Structures are given as C-alpha cells and as structure tokens.
Structure 1
C-alpha cells in the first residue's frame, strides 16, 4: 500500500503501531528526543557536580522567586521536535575543515520558542504531505491564459507540496490513531476532540504519519530550509573572519615585509594558541548542553568557570613562548620578518585571555539555545575592529604595531559585549550563571578527557594548512606575502560552504532522528548540489578577478604577480573545497563524523602535504605547486567521503539514532 506522499510503502508493523498506545508513546519519545547523543564522561561529571553541589549551600540548585527549581521552566511537553538550530560556530577559524566532535549531536533541550518553531515545522510538513488541510484555500487556477500558465509554472518550480499521484483529485486522509480501551478506561468517559492544528492532535498526526512512512519532502522545501539555516551562518562566519582579514588589509599597504610578517605571526598564533583553545573548548558543547538539557541550569555556569580557569593556566606557557618567539622564528625564517612577527605576538598576547573567555562564553549561550548572541556581539565588534585598525595603523601613525593592538582591543571587547548580552539584553540566560563557585577548581578529570579529542582534531587540521605558510616563507619574503593574501582569500570564500556544512549536518540529523530517511536523502542531495553551485561560483569569481583581487591587499608588483599566477589553482580548489565541506556536514548528521576526521588527517598528511612539497619544492612550481597538492588532497577527501556515504545504510543510521535516544 503506497504512502500518500509518494514515499515508501507502509509496513504492516507501522499499521499495527497506530492502534497500540504503547507503540505510539515509543514513537513519540523517539521523535521528541531527535538526534541527541549522550556522553558517558559528561554524565559522570554531571553526577559528581550534583553530589558536590548538594553538600554546600553556596552551590545549591538555583531557585526562582517561588522557590521552585528552575528546571521546571524547561518545556518537557512530549511531541515532535524536528526543529534544531544550527550551531557548532567556531570563532576566528581560518580554515576549519571539519567541526570538532560534539556540537550538533549534543544539543540541549528545546526552549519554548524553539518548541513553537518545531511544531510549526511539523505542521508545515503535514500540510505539504496533504495530511493536514492547507493553511490557505487557494482558488482553482483557470485553465488557459498566460496568467494561469505562469502561476502553474511557478507552483511546479517553487511549491513545497509533495505532488499527488496522477489522477488523484482528492488529498489522502491522515493516518488514523485508534486507542484501544482497557480495564482502566472509563466506561462513560467524555471523548475529547482536538482540532487538527492543536498540539495534541498535531502530535498524534505526526507520530502516526511517521510510523506509516507517509512523510516525504521535496527539493524545494529542503533548498528553502538549507538556505534559511545558512544565511545567518554566512553572515556570522564572515564577521568572525573579518577580524583577521582587516589586519591583513591594514598592514598589506605598509609593505611586503609587513605583509609577510603578519602571515607568519598569525600562523604561529593559530597553531600555538587559538587552535588549542578552540579544540579544548569544544568539550563545553557537550558539558554545557547536557547540563542545561538535564534541567540543572546552575551547572552550565560551573562548566564555564572550570574551562576558563583551565585555559588561563595553559596560557602561561603560551605567554612564555610568544615573549621569546623571535629567536625561534629566526631559525626558520628570514630575521627581519621574524622580528616583526615576534612583535605582533608580544602585543596580541594582551587579548589572548579574553579570546579564551569568549570561546567559552559562546558555548555558554549556545547551550541555552541562544545562537544569535555571538552574532550580535560581532555586529558591534567587527566595525569597531575596522575603525581601530584605521586609527592605530594609519591615523595615529603607529604602523605595524597598530594592527596587533587593534586585534587585542577587539578581543577584549568581545567577552564584555557577551556579558552585556547575558545580563542586560537576554536576562534569562543569566540564570545559568549561578555565581562564582569553589567547585570550579575540582572535578577537572572528565572535562580534560572530553576536551583532548577536540584539541587533537582542530590542532591537526590547522597545522596541516599552516605548514604551507612556513614552507612559503622558506621561498622568500615575496612568497610569504603572497601566501598571506592567498590564505586570506580562500579563507573568506570558504565561509559559505562551511555554513552549508553546519546547516546540512543540522537538517540531516533532524530528519534521521525523526526516522524520515527518505527526506534525509532528499536533503542531502539538495545540499550536495548547493555545495557544487557555491564551489562553481567561487571558481568563476577567483578566475575572472585574479588580476584585480591582489590589488586590494598590496601594491607590490612581485606579490601581485605571484598571487595572480596562483589564483587559478586556488580557484580550481574551490569546487572540491565546497564538495568536501558538504560531505563533512552530512557525515556529522549521520553520526559518522569519525570517518570524516580520519579521512581528513590521512589525506592532508599522507597525500596533500607530500604532494605540495613535491610540486612546490622538488619540481620548483612555487606557490602553485603548494596549492595544487592541497587541491588534490581535497579531491581525494571528497571521493572518499561520498563513496563512504554511498555505502552507509541510512535506515540503520536512523535505528542507531533511536537507540541512542532510548539510552
């Protein structure tokens, strides 16, 4: 028996489930918890913290004015929870190839506004599958005439409704839920009737439709959803990356030596400080999310304090390294460039503690479902950063030293803006703070063990790309300056496919968690096409304007010629870059991110880097050879990951997600 939406046939077990209240409850709970995994380390840490907090009055569970536990504020209403906001945002990342473990698969419980959006999403899907009546009754199109044909063409191209089989004039009826009375049911109970749009009826309709395999989707709906998810992420990522790009723009006009020095300095800062901080902070994606999702809001602030203290301790050896960086860099690179790079590191060190605090604070607000907090802060900080670079580098005449000072001031501004957002703009978020606690100095073991995998993954990915910068520096100052421009350009173009990566992982995880396997496959296909289109757009952009883009960074003719010569290779890389980014996101949505991590590491270190060294140094192809090796590596990563996805049993992935939810 065919499903109404044109999907897979209804299994007999699904038919029986509609008349079994216990089966209904099982389906309902499975869709309610969606795609959320449980970390044993996070559970262990949560138990320890609860035991410790119950012993002291200062760490007691926060209570509201009525004396009730704040956990009661969490909406635990059963029902569909398809809606998930995309997260996993990495602040300041130059080229993150694969978001670290955690994040999307460890999302907290839905807030009330998200639950409302979830139900709206479910209701819309039911309408598009003709299970619920349409929201607006459209007048029948008149046959013939230009207006009628245009309207029909518009609907065929952009309508999100699942097409009815040919010859069907009436929409299919919704799967009916039959409740069998038992000995505890009242004989003369008053039967309640719910309107199809009410939450109770919506939950019943959704559970029955999912069990019957009646939910399908269209490429138009998935394209719209992915676009909506991605647009805000693109803005956020570009704002984040602009903090790095602005310094390159400001310093590049000073000279080739300064442009080369800032490339070397940012590389050193990335691999010795920023990447470790980002990698270690990924543990908060799990710890804060599960503390908030379990209803213990006061433990979210405790996890934040614990990680901030841990990162501050790690900054002590980093500070020693940066303060004595000149002789170390001079052993690998030209001395004048090393001296300027060391100056940059000494000044930017003033903002490193605030960078660590902001990375942790970002996870603090995201765990509570407040994904726009970081964007609001960046909307203020990014223009301020541009202004400070202009003032310090050019207006006040401080030259090269003005760029790291502007970065340090901006980094100190970001956590202050986040504090204002938490305590003044969105005051509900401050309930998870709970004040300073002595418990923040205890129970670090599970946190560190949970943080190490994220640290190793992020550090390995960043190091692979930054090694190329070091190799370019061995070729000469002009090559290092050109490499700085190329890294900045490709890092900027990467932000759009990276947004698709995050959006696709969210959408596929939602659909897999709701056991909508066919819909998940449709969404994956749409995202793959989107990644190819974005890649082709970037290819065209860099190819057509290869002689004009370098002029935005420098006036040095040698550097401009090197960049223009290498940009066609970087342009070709854009296609595989977009495809690889999308495949990373789809693997995360399917819960197979481990394969993506291993594929990345193998292809970068065993394929891309050796080929880059061979092309760039042995064959003397210069920067073009270095980037050609990376292009080949990304091509192989794409082939490996798409081939792996072709072998994945998506139905089994849905069953595994259901099993994780049951646990």
Structure 2
C-alpha cells in the first residue's frame, strides 16, 4: 500500500520540536505492511487507495478484534459452566461475581485503555519518536492499576454492599469470597488489555486473538482441575481465572517480543519511569481514561440493571432475559470490534495529519457497522421463533424469547453505529461525549421508561417493556454519536489537538532526559 500523504506545506512538515532537526525517510511497518514515513520518528498508516479498499481494510481489522473479545467472554463463560456442575447456588454465585467484576473492575481495563485509542494511535503516526507509544503503554498500566485499588477494596468488602442491595446472605458471602481471590488476576487482566491496545495502535490486530486461542483450553483444564479435583471447590474458579489472565499477559509479552512487525515499528524504547510518571502527562491520560471508563461502564451497568429488574418479574422472564443477555453479549462484540478498528485508524490518520482520510475512515466504519448490523438484524428476525431452543427446551421460555427478540433485532443497526462512532470519538480523544450520551440515554430516559413500562399497572409490559427502554437508549446513542461525528467534527481542529498532544509528550521526555543527564553529571 502507498504511504498516507502528509500535509505539504512547509510549516506542517516541521518537526514537533523546532530545536531538533528533521530526520530522513525510513521504512516502518503497519499491520505487517511496510510503508515509508517522512520522519524517522513516526509511522504512517497505509493509504487505503480509495473508499472501497479502506472499507475492506476496516473489515479485515475488525474480524480478529471481534474474535478476541468473544474469546475473552468465553474464558469467563467456560468458568461459569465448570462451576455450574457443583450446583445451582455455586452457579448463581459465580455468574453474579463475574457480572459484578465486569461492571466494577473490568470496565476499568476496557474503559481506561480507550485513552490509548487516542494517545497511542496518534503518537504512532504523529509522535516525535515512535517510542512515545511505549511510554503511553507504561503509563496506562501503572495508572489503571492505581485506579483498580478502590475497586479491589469494594471487592474485599462486597458482602455488606450486596446485603444492602437486598441479596441473600449466602450469595453475598460466596461472591465476596470469589472476588477476593479474583483480585490476584485483575492486574494481569489490566496489563493484558493495555498491551493489546498498544499493539492495535500499530495495526497489529491478530496477536491477542492468537494468544487467547492458546489460553482458552488451558483455562478450561485449570478450572476443571481446581474446581473438581481439589479441596478448593467453588473457589478454584477465581484462582483458575487469575492464572489464565496472567498467562494471557505473559504470552502476549512473548508474542510482542518476537513479533517481526513490532520490531520493525520500533515502538519499544525500554522503561522510562521518570517520563511515565510525569504529573502533567498522568493528568492528561486520566482526562481520557476516566471518561472512557464511564463510557463503557455506564452502558454495561444499565444492561445489568435490566437483568436485575427482570429477576423481579418472575422465573420465566428471568430465564428468557438470561438467554437474551447471553446472545446480546456475544453480538455486542461485533460493533465493539468495529469500534476498535475505527478508533485505531482514525487516530493514526489524525496523527499523520490527514483530515480527509480520518473523515473517510469514520464514515466508512459507520457504514460497515450498518451493513453488519443489518445482517444480524435480519438473522435474528428470521430465527426468533427458534432462537430460544439453543438454550432451553421450555416452550414458555422460547415463546417469550420470540416476543422480545424483534426488539433486540431492531437495535442492531443503532448498536453498530454506537460501537463504530464511539470508536471514532475515542480515536479523536472525545471519550467524554460518549460517556455523556450514555448517561443521558440510559439513566435519564431508557431505564425510567423501561421500568415504568415493565411494572406500572397501566402498562405492565414485563420483559418487553424493559427492552423497549434499551432500544430507545441505543437509538439515541447510535444516531446521536453519528450526528456528532458527521456534523460536529472539525477535523483540522482534531488534528491540531493531536499535534499538541504529541508535542507536549516530546517536551516532557526531553525535559526528563536533561534532568537525567544533569543528575549523572
């Protein structure tokens, strides 16, 4: 592929630090494709050569990311299935524990690392040095570990929290015991997610998928061994998960170390804690990470609230809700994967100062999500009367699933737009807008509406009412974010912000290098 065309004006081609001379053209690698850069300190994403080629490129990038998140979900699902053999109480405790971990802990990893969607992808193509990407990675891991500390405290004392929300004594006690052991695996989960983003910023999309394919069978075997063949029993599951998360991180480190593409990119420059822990840089990172956590966490929490509300409708709606939520979690990996591909490509183009390509990538990622969402929607509608049989033989449960499935199908296009446009916003560094849309759509409109429709005596629509609220929320988020991307984006301004981010990082690194030299003298 040919190189992305950088701005041609003399001013825009100046290095970010005027005191440092420009460097000659060098070859760099993006996703396994060698390209050239006008600076030895930054890489250029490949010019897609036209809308059709860029569309296909986004699709190709999305597939391994989708598989990666599906495999991550499978690791937890397999753990629940293994524990479920012990009995219904253990099954409920494991499922509830992992739901609680997802909303409180894993959203720190998945939401906080969205800061790398902005900083890492823009630094890869626009940074004064390619090793700036590794600085952002190190800062990401350290700060997200710090943000997990208060979450860990909540996990340690989860029992009184759950009792206060009306859960039973046994469930609260078992969930607390499960989460206390799972704390050991959380740093591994965060580090794995951070390293995965670091590679994705460089167009290396398949690494985490290959690692998770290797880890999944190990996870199943270790779960079976610890749960059914040791005295740990139920508590063997969080220990097995913790081992799996650390193995995933270690395997990904080894993959990265021996990756030819990663070595060609030259983004790793060693540990640099002085630059990593610079206060201004840490604050700038948190300004992106915390809205990213809210962006992810608010959506997940809203769906879990719907699940808890469904439990109050009775056993039948709860069973149907479990089937629908399981299906939705699987389907949600599709727009999320497209969003990751979009954020990486948009961030890379902003870093290389190519406004037309950044704009084109944002619109084509939205188109891709609409096409894929339309296919999923048609499939769900066509199979709505049979879908429930994949999980249950109860005719009443299958019938209720059939009634709700058209609602789930109806928001697939909107969910796709929310995923892809959310990715574009992350690539730009506007995570706060995604968080704002989610807060308003879910907590001001959707949840009050859904709960009213489900439980109010005049409507009493039950499970369908809850999902009508979710449909409304996703349409607001999906089309609202697309309107922002389409009508509310000044691409030249976003590029200038990217230039300023990279310039600030270069100044901070230079400052610490001077301090280190003075100290050594």
Q: TM-score, normalised by structure 1?
A: 0.59
Gaps of 5+ in 2: 1-6, 504-521
Partner residue, 1:417: 251
Partner residue, 1:180: none
Of residues 628-637 and 348-357 in structure 1, the stretch that sits farther from structure 2 once superposed is 348-357
Partner residue, 1:274: 106
Partner residue, 1:344: 178
Seen in structure 2, the aligned counterparts of structure 1 residues 391 and 549 have a Cα distance that, compared at 3 Å, is farther
Pick one of 56, 75, 79 that aligns with 1:247: 79
Contact 1:472/1:480 (8 A) holds in 2: yes
Aligned residue pairs, count: 478
Gaps of 5+ in 1: 1-22, 44-70, 87-107, 126-216
Q: Deviations over 1:202-241 (max 9, x none)?
A: xxxxxxxxxxxxxxx45x3343233223223222232233
Seen in structure 2, the aligned counterparts of structure 1 residues 523 and 543 have a Cα distance that, compared at 3 Å, is same
Pick one of 368, 373, 376 that aligns with 1:538: 376
Contact 2:359/2:491 (8 A) holds in 1: no
Contact 2:68/2:209 (8 A) holds in 1: yes
Partner residue, 2:517: none
1:92-103 alignment, distance < 5 Å: none
Secondary structure of the structure 2 residue equivalent to 1:347: helix
Pick one of 141, 165, 168 that aligns with 1:332: 165
User: Hey, what's the Cα distance between the residues in 2 that align with 1:77 and 1:568?
Assistant: 55
Contact 2:417/2:479 (8 A) holds in 1: no
Partner residue, 1:502: 340
Pick one of 617, 631, 635 that aligns with 2:475: 635
Contact 2:71/2:212 (8 A) holds in 1: yes
User: Hey, what's the Cα distance between the residues in 2 that align with 1:254 and 1:659?
Assistant: 54
More helix by share: 2
Secondary structure of the structure 2 residue equivalent to 1:432: coil
Pick one of 322, 330, 350 that aligns with 1:492: 330
Q: Deviations over 1:43-81 (max 9, x none)?
A: 9xxxxxxxxxxxxxxxxxxxxxxxxxxx99x985289x9
Pick one of 17, 23, 26 that aligns with 2:10: 26
Is 2:216 the counterpart of 1:378?
Answer: no
Of residues 397-406 and 460-469 in structure 1, the stretch that sits farther from structure 2 once superposed is 397-406
Query: Offset at 1:417?
Result: 1.1
Pick one of 290, 293, 301 that aligns with 1:455: 290
Q: CA RMSD in A?
A: 4.6
Is 2:191 the counterpart of 1:357?
Answer: yes
Partner residue, 2:515: none
Partner residue, 1:96: none
Pick one of 585, 595, 598 that aligns with 2:436: 598
1:203-352 alignment, distance < 5 Å: 217-218=50-51, 220-251=52-83, 257-283=89-115, 293-295=127-129, 297=131, 307-335=140-168, 336-352=170-186
Partner residue, 1:167: none
Secondary structure of the structure 2 residue equivalent to 1:29: coil
User: Hey, what's the Cα distance between the residues in 2 that align with 1:593 and 1:301?
Assistant: 21
Determine which structure has more spread, i.e. the larger CA radius of gyration: 1
User: Hey, what's the Cα distance between the residues in 1 that align with 2:251 and 2:406?
Assistant: 40
User: Hey, what's the Cα distance between the residues in 1 that align with 2:39 and 2:344?
Assistant: 14
User: Hey, what's the Cα distance between the residues in 2 that align with 1:644 and 1:227?
Assistant: 23
Q: Deviations over 1:348-376 (max 9, x none)?
A: 23312222332333345456665443233
Query: Offset at 1:255?
Result: 5.9
Seen in structure 2, the aligned counterparts of structure 1 residues 656 and 538 have a Cα distance that, compared at 3 Å, is closer
Q: Deviations over 1:175-225 (max 9, x none)?
A: xxxxxxxxxxxxxxxxxxxxxxxxxxxxxxxxxxxxxxxxxx45x334323
Seen in structure 2, the aligned counterparts of structure 1 residues 587 and 314 have a Cα distance that, compared at 3 Å, is closer
Contact 1:249/1:552 (8 A) holds in 2: no
Query: Offset at 1:447?
Result: 1.0
Contact 1:500/1:531 (8 A) holds in 2: yes
User: Hey, what's the Cα distance between the residues in 2 that align with 1:307 and 1:112?
Assistant: 21
Contact 1:591/1:653 (8 A) holds in 2: no
User: Hey, what's the Cα distance between the residues in 2 that align with 1:414 and 1:462?
Assistant: 24
Query: Offset at 1:551?
Result: 5.0
Partner residue, 1:607: 445
Pick one of 405, 409, 417 that aligns with 1:571: 409
Partner residue, 1:434: 270
Q: Deviations over 1:451-478 (max 9, x none)?
A: 1542244233433333323333444566
Query: Offset at 1:493?
Result: 0.8
Seen in structure 2, the aligned counterparts of structure 1 residues 532 and 364 have a Cα distance that, compared at 3 Å, is closer
